[in-house]
Homo-oligomer: A and B are copies of this chain.
């Protein structure tokens, strides 16, 4: 039988236009990936080798901290998702019909599987602390992708679930995992461009979660950090807004007739003052039908996630009708004492940076100027704005904004799942306590893409040696396959992973050399009549232009 080639590489002559980024295009052309459906991909032979190499690095570092690997079914009982109240509330959950009235979840995450599983093995304090991990496929019924490669319908993930007796042991364990993660990302060559950002804790907790974000200009997450330790996802980033005129003397509040000045630009022009000297207030309604307002400088925005984190969770923006019932209208709500609305006002810290505010009038067209804190009805100050690039960090340093991709995250699950499944343990005194849980993820299929994108250069892909599909690429010129195979065997004995390009002799040297670069394999070897004359082969590193003759 004639084998086509032992070479596992196939290429596409023309690549479908599915992405605007070059690394993706290369991966598609070069036998790495193919799309099965939007956001679900075939992992072709070269890509799969990269996946396995990354998996092994992750596995080694997880095993080193005595985590035990297991594999959970993708299918999960509906009853477990009912218990945590997530069957109807996780909109990306794929639901499956079994026989009769049976339904299953196709797991996007495995808290509903792992918690009842571990409950079977944990009774007393002697069984804790304890942790297990999985490296496997997960599923999300995404409506649309945030970015072509960011969210998938089917993706490969490492999740470590840890079970603890106390907050202290949770924290200690966190430090240990963080060290292991640092080692992993070091071995993947991306630690230097990866930042640990605080982020929202999602539905699990009102505390922050931690995301590891790799800086990459094509991604959509924005992280904000300074030169010291501060780093946060924009969604929760804190910062000090710039001081405007806080050293001005406070003037006495006055009324001004300006019935026709009814846009912000007109205000700026009419009063000859900058927009930051205006105040805006957004009014919210709580589920008990009381109202509160968040007031910020006009040049800033209310960050509702911060409101949600700092104040309470059950609110929505007040409707036009609500505002009319309160005796005002959208855009005309003032936090000034004398207006006396039935609204509780919270002020953003940024308002402390301005003196002598301007407020535009109620429906009567009478504006007020020189408003200061003493004139106001203020319940409390807080950090309610979205951070801006001109803010200072909490350390008082310049805040940098960069695009980045989340490669892993840590969720403090606390007792959310232990509560739902009754996972508890008996302590030394015979008292029953809830088990505390954390979840440590790594988005492995996303990490792969991040590395491909972050490492590539103008000549093609560049794989870190640790995870490259092959470490050496041997180009055979003319009939020297036997010699090349011998060399491959010798190199493999030393731990190399060798690919021999045994394509048709008619493929031109320059083409093969270009292909070697495009593929991104760390070392290129040429075995040709010329090198053989010197009883040697030619070696070139992917990230160098130098070649070297090495004797057999």
Which of A40, A73, A95 has the largest number of chain B CB atoms within 10 A? A73
The DSSP consensus for interface residues of chain A is mixed
A70 to chain B, nearest CB (A): 5
A69 proximity list for chain B (CB < 8 A): 45, 48
**Copies of this protein, total:** 2
B153 touches A75 (CB 8 A): yes
B73 touches A36 (CB 8 A): yes
Check A104 for interface membership: any CB of B closer than 8 A: yes
How long is the Cα–Cα vector from A213 to B55 in the complex, in angstroms?
34
A154 proximity list for chain B (CB < 8 A): 73-75
A173 touches B129 (CB 8 A): no
Check A121 for interface membership: any CB of B closer than 8 A: yes
Q: Which of A135-143, A249-257, A525-533 is near enough to bind chain B?
A: A135-143
Check A99 for interface membership: any CB of B closer than 8 A: yes
A90 to chain B, nearest CB (A): 15
The answer to whether residues A117 and B73 also contact, given A1-B169, A98-B141 and a CB cut-off of 8 A, is: no
B66 touches A120 (CB 8 A): no
Check A34 for interface membership: any CB of B closer than 8 A: yes
A2 proximity list for chain B (CB < 8 A): 129
The answer to whether residues A34 and B120 also contact, given A66-B3, A99-B143 and a CB cut-off of 8 A, is: yes
A137 proximity list for chain B (CB < 8 A): 74, 136-137
Chain A contact residue count (CB 8 A cutoff) = 59
Check A130 for interface membership: any CB of B closer than 8 A: yes
A113 proximity list for chain B (CB < 8 A): 36, 42
A4 touches B36 (CB 8 A): no
How long is the Cα–Cα vector from A169 to B3 in the complex, in angstroms?
10
How long is the Cα–Cα vector from A12 to B119 in the complex, in angstroms?
11
Residue of B nearest to A44 (CB): B70
Check A96 for interface membership: any CB of B closer than 8 A: yes
A488 to chain B, nearest CB (A): 14
A43 touches B71 (CB 8 A): yes
Residue of B nearest to A118 (CB): B10
A169 proximity list for chain B (CB < 8 A): 1
A136 proximity list for chain B (CB < 8 A): 137
A243 proximity list for chain B (CB < 8 A): none
B99 touches A96 (CB 8 A): no
The answer to whether residues A120 and B73 also contact, given A42-B113, A129-B4 and a CB cut-off of 8 A, is: no
Residue in B48, B73, B128, B143 whose beta carbon sits within 8 Å of that of A42 in the complex: B73
A176 proximity list for chain B (CB < 8 A): 1
How long is the Cα–Cα vector from A306 to B45 in the complex, in angstroms?
41
Within 8 A of B (CB), among A59-85: 66, 68-77
How long is the Cα–Cα vector from A456 to B173 in the complex, in angstroms?
39
A70 touches B95 (CB 8 A): no
A212 to chain B, nearest CB (A): 23
How long is the Cα–Cα vector from A41 to B73 in the complex, in angstroms?
6
List 26 A–B pairs whose Cβ atoms lie within 8 Å, in order of A's numbering: A1-B169, A3-B129, A4-B128, A4-B129, A10-B121, A12-B121, A34-B117, A34-B120, A36-B72, A36-B77, A37-B77, A41-B73, A42-B70, A42-B71, A42-B73, A42-B117, A45-B69, A45-B70, A51-B71, A73-B154, A74-B139, A75-B139, A75-B154, A96-B96, A99-B143, A106-B106
Closest 9 pairs between A and B when the two form their complex, measured CB to CB: A43-B71, A40-B73, A45-B68, A8-B68, A10-B121, A1-B172, A36-B73, A40-B75, A73-B154
